[in-house]
Structure 1
Amino acid sequence: MLAYSTYSEAGGVGKTTTAANLAVAHARAGLKPLVIPLDPQDGDLSRLFGVDDDRTESVDNLVRHMIRRPKGEFDDLVRTVEGVDIVPEHNMLSDLTEYLQREKDQAEAMGEAFGMHAQLLRVLREAGVPETYDVLICDPPATEGPHLYNAIHATRSLAIPVEPSAKGRAAVEGLESLVAGLEDQLDVEVGVLAAIPIGFKNTRDQRTILDEIEYPVPEVIGERASLMEGCWMQQCSAFRYVRDHRERRREYELETLAQFDRIARHLESSVDLEAPNPPEPGELEPEVVSA
């Protein structure tokens, strides 16, 4: 199984839209992806895909499973959109640290072990996720804490959206020490599968920053604010937005879709995962493409 977390220390770089579009790119190639968004903010992946409709305390959710208080089966948490299975975020994620610490204290009082940063991995293994899915994508918040640590412990690999700016350069420079710190803290090896520059305008300074990135860079995505804003407005991936909500095709947007397809193939190849039916990069379904 291919497993990775989309992560960037810099906010506003397109981390969540990258996760969503890569998940759809995997699905449209015939793979079965599961996305675990862990960001408690309102502008989250559940909202992007339109499954952010029930955050009441009474419903079962991922946090309950992580603290060993489930109200049902893991499979009942899953929603499916655009061929992608998603476990929607819930308000309890905002207090994940407190919930995990409380469970850890109770377990230790009973002489039991409870790894705060290994609970997502435990839940996924007990639910048979590695046997059921081809791809696991976690979308944690940018800040360090149990959301990020559980995501990385579960996936062991990162795909990093990068802003090609001085801010993005600082984030990339700090990544090596961050990864080393996570490896020491979690006692796992963490790999970087790809850095994905987003918002590239081909300036001299940006080209210099790209040359300094030491991780694989399968594609460089241009400035696509209108496309990504449209995805949020229509609550869908870029693939569906271009297919169903653009009256005319824009070649640069079709190329962006092709880039997400190619990035997905790059990530799959990192674990020798072969998609059974990969489309021509950027190709939309013939019956809905305008002449």
Structure 2
Amino acid sequence: MDGSHEENMLAYSTYSEAGGVGKTTTAANLAVAHARAGLKPLVVPLDPQDGDLSRLFDIDDQRTEAVDNIVRHMIRRPKGNFDDLIRTVDAVDIIPEHNMLSDLAEYLQREKDQAEAMGEAFGMHAQLLRVLREAGVPDEYDVLICDPPATEGPHLYNAIHATRSLVIPVEPTAKGRAAVEGLESLVTGLENQLDVKVGVLGALPIGFKDTRDQRKILDGITYPVPEIIGERASLMEGCWMQQCSAFTYVREHRNRYRDYELETLAQFDKIARHLENEVGIEAPNPPKPGDLDHEVITV
């Protein structure tokens, strides 16, 4: 599923070295923005932490139960079909996180040792890609979004191996600038480690207050910056409180629309269009950016 991969599927991982930048809410809201335009997205979150995308979409009810999950498929021990893992929220298909993700490195290492003892190859960082290909994901979906944790390891490596592209939320602070400056070496390191080409589809500054220092930091970003998102802590906290996307939160949990929140929704729509354009996908039914009355018609 690299750039030359299966015909015209947009695939990316949301990634940020710094925690608390809004990586997971970015993945969730972009997925909804793709779906609003009539595309079919699949989201594969891989974060073993509790405050993850499954929690945001309120589908983490089985994370501690002995049920089939993505890890079992990655170590070739599935209990059922891949399709049965999928839950759908806001026209977005999602594979919920499971507590087995906490021990993913150990599970993969054990499987690799067993395979090599039998004279077989087992690429620890290519297992998500294998699972998705075997399940026909590139033919069935228009968009694949992975949301791995910020720390380096098999979660991140499997996500990047499967998507080959990054969307990077950036904090416009000195800490964020350090993260941006480290990005090029990070991307190069990932390419060398995984032996794949990794592209950056866009950097998304989040929490921008238009100070001179922040503008300077933004000027130093060498990647495409489709939109600059302002300080939206109350909107994002509301999403986590109500366990829903920003689109659903504003539509169903706000008694009046606030212009700056509608502007943020419009920005998610615009970013989604930018990312689709990067790989030559034309959404069949794109809304006017931020239009909450837009009727979703999937093709």
TM-score range, shorter chain: over 0.9
State the alpha-carbon separation in 2 of the partners of residues 56 and 238 from structure 1.
27
Matches within 5 A, 1:42-191: 42-191=50-199
1:18 aligned to which of 26, 35, 38? 26
Q: State the secondary structure of the residue aligned to 2:34.
A: helix
Q: Deviations over 1:131-152 (max 9, x none)?
A: 0000000000000000000000
Q: Which residue of 2 aligns with 1:248?
A: 256
State the alpha-carbon separation in 2 of the partners of residues 144 and 286 from structure 1.
39
Q: Which residue of 1 aligns with 2:224?
A: 216
Q: Which residue of 2 aligns with 1:34?
A: 42
Q: Which residue of 1 aligns with 2:203?
A: 195
| Structure 1 unaligned spans of 5+ | none
Letter in 2 for 1:205: D
Q: Deviations over 1:173-229 (max 9, x none)?
A: 111001101101111000000000000000000000000000000000000000000
Q: Which residue of 1 aligns with 2:240?
A: 232
State the alpha-carbon separation in 1 of the partners of residues 99 and 285 from structure 2.
37
State the alpha-carbon separation in 1 of the partners of residues 248 and 64 from structure 2.
29
1:5 aligned to which of 13, 21, 24? 13
Letter in 1 for 2:212: R
Letter in 2 for 1:165: T
Q: May I ask how many residue pairs the two structures share in their alignment? A: 287
State the alpha-carbon separation in 2 of the partners of residues 286 and 237 from structure 1.
16
Identity percentage over the alignment?
A: 86
Q: CA deviation at 1:233?
A: 0.6
State the alpha-carbon separation in 2 of the partners of residues 173 and 214 from structure 1.
9
State the alpha-carbon separation in 1 of the partners of residues 96 and 255 from structure 2.
31
Q: CA deviation at 1:285?
A: 1.3
Q: Deviations over 1:223-242 (max 9, x none)?
A: 00000000001110000000
4+ residue runs of structure 1 moved beyond 4 angstroms? none
When normalised by structure 1's length, the TM-score is 0.98
* Residue 57 to residue 99, structure 1, CA distance change in 2 (3 Å): farther
Q: CA deviation at 1:56?
A: 3.2
* Residue 205 to residue 242, structure 1, CA distance change in 2 (3 Å): same
State the alpha-carbon separation in 2 of the partners of residues 84 and 52 from structure 1.
15
Is the Cα–Cα contact under 8 Å of residues 287 and 294 in structure 2 kept in the other structure?
no
| Structure 2 unaligned spans of 5+ | 1-8
When normalised by structure 2's length, the TM-score is 0.95
State the alpha-carbon separation in 1 of the partners of residues 156 and 97 from structure 2.
14
Q: State the secondary structure of the residue aligned to 2:219.
A: helix
Q: State the secondary structure of the residue aligned to 1:160.
A: strand
